[in-house]
Copies of this chain bind each other. A is one copy, B any other.
Amino acid sequence: MSPDEFRKHGHAVIEWLAAYMEGVENYPVASQLSPGDVRARLPEHAPEHGEPFADIIEDLDDIIMPGITHWQSPNFFAYFPANASPPAILGELVSAGLGVQGMLWATSPACTELETHMLDWLVDLMGLPEEFRSSGPGGGVIQDSASSAALCALVAARHRASPGDLKVYTSSHAHSSIEKAVRIAGFGDDALRLVDVDDDFALRPDALAAGLASDVAAGATPCLVAATSGTASSMAFDPLRPVADICRRHDAWLHVDAAMAGSAAICTEHRGFLDGLDLADSFCFNPHKWLLTNFDCDCFYVADRTALIDALSVLPEYLRNQASDSKEVIDYRDWQVPLGRRFRSLKLWFVLRSYGAEELRAMIRRHVELASSFASWVEASDDFELCAPVHLNLVCFRHRGGDEVNHELQEHLNSSGKLYLTHTKLNDRTVLRMSIGQARTELRHVAAAWEQIQAAARG
């Protein structure tokens, strides 16, 4: 495809995407296809000869689009938001076109330096501890996901810890990625301690302290505590300061996962959960969830980068270069699992500049307000009840009719295509999650969702 053909097809794709943005509300939110439906329509073999680009776009419409679940729909209330804003999309486009590798500073200096700079910008914007700024012993890096961030934190913590029978602690409501990281890092089946939560599903510091003390008494070594600021199930916030105090007493690494909620810290009034974060060793949050920067973009900070780099650095001759030898540069390959890396900070730069801090704050505030409205409707209803304290943009609620009724409700609503929501379990009861964070979501979408939920419940 020549540059001129790229122009032609590129303009067509831009038009296609603009039309998608304008029409995304009209698609069934969750794909209504059955397993195998997409593959059944694809040819068995790759073509021998090139095909016209228009044919590919036609198949995109006919074969792929019915199999898409529309995370960009304003009626998407499932899981967590995964916003792809127009400036982020264009940042990703430029990144793909430049096609640079950012594994070393030397392989594209701007890729490394813009990333460091964006991560420092976010320290200011969010009021994060000074420890996370790149000018000191710490610093930030973009990971693909909070899962990978947790794995890197764990590997760094192990590197820093004294050898022994290492244990990892997290609440029973923490994300599955913590357990997955413990498995991948090979801590052994017995290493993970799930700590009890309180009535609001937040980690109980007394239970954590007791757990560490009991393990230490038995000869084990607390290696890492993973606290969550905004759990996946119910947006619970583990109390960081008492947790950090316990970690300090035992020289355990404190990792704080704020994948979903972290972006809210750009608003001063939603920053309360950061109290104690200055005592943490690492922290991550996902602009690819709630800061308009499309996946993948997890910002991962460490208060001291030494253990992370020492744990992950392997330097073969074919990667050696003067800049690395000078120790004056950051080589981000030593901050992550893979060697290669994309120019991901471009999209973050495009987003922060296109919107400016004020417009991003306004979006967060709007979503929080919508969640609050939704919660008030649930509270006022006879048939439904709230199931957890409402923090930020998530409302956990259920029909009073029992688990079966809620499952049927969810199934009925999702198969309508009019909205999409998912469930969890809280206190062993099935609970519906209304996660309000898509950039296009307005009051009318949330109000319509509540109408549909009530109508479905009436049968």
Contact = CB atoms under 8 A, between A and B. Distances in A.
Interface of A: 1-7, 9-11, 13-22, 30-31, 33, 35-39, 42, 45-51, 53, 55-56, 60, 63-72, 79, 82-90, 92-94, 96-101, 105-111, 113-114, 116-117, 121-122, 124-125, 144-145, 147-148, 151, 155, 158, 175-177, 179-180, 183-187, 232-233, 288, 294-296, 311-312, 314-323, 326, 328-329, 337-342, 346, 349-350, 352-359, 411, 422-425, 433
Contact of A35 (B51, B105, B316): B105
Contact of A87 (B48, B53, B158): B53
Contacts of A56: 87, 349-350, 353-354
A69 B106 contact: yes
A151 B11 contact: no
Nearest to A361: B48
Contact of A176 (B90, B316, B328): B316
A311 B355 CA distance: 42
Given A90-B9, A340-B296, A69 B99 contact: no
Given A318-B424, A340-B296, A121 B46 contact: yes
A49 B356 contact: yes
A338 B122 CA distance: 23
A232 B186 CA distance: 28
A158 B145 contact: no
Which 5 residue pairs spanning A and B have beta carbons closest together? A67-B110, A84-B99, A186-B186, A10-B14, A145-B338
Contacts of A69: 100, 106-109
Contacts of A16: 94
A114 B42 contact: yes
B107 A97 contact: no
Contact of A114 (B38, B100, B155, B349): B38
B85 A1 contact: yes
A113 B423 CA distance: 24
A292 B128 CA distance: 40
A258 to B, nearest CB: 16
Contact of A183 (B18, B114, B312, B323): B312
B17 A329 contact: no
A6 B21 contact: yes
26 contacts: A6-B14, A6-B21, A7-B14, A10-B86, A31-B108, A39-B116, A42-B117, A50-B354, A56-B350, A64-B110, A67-B114, A71-B108, A79-B107, A82-B101, A89-B96, A147-B337, A147-B338, A155-B186, A176-B316, A179-B314, A180-B337, A180-B339, A183-B311, A184-B312, A232-B316, A318-B433
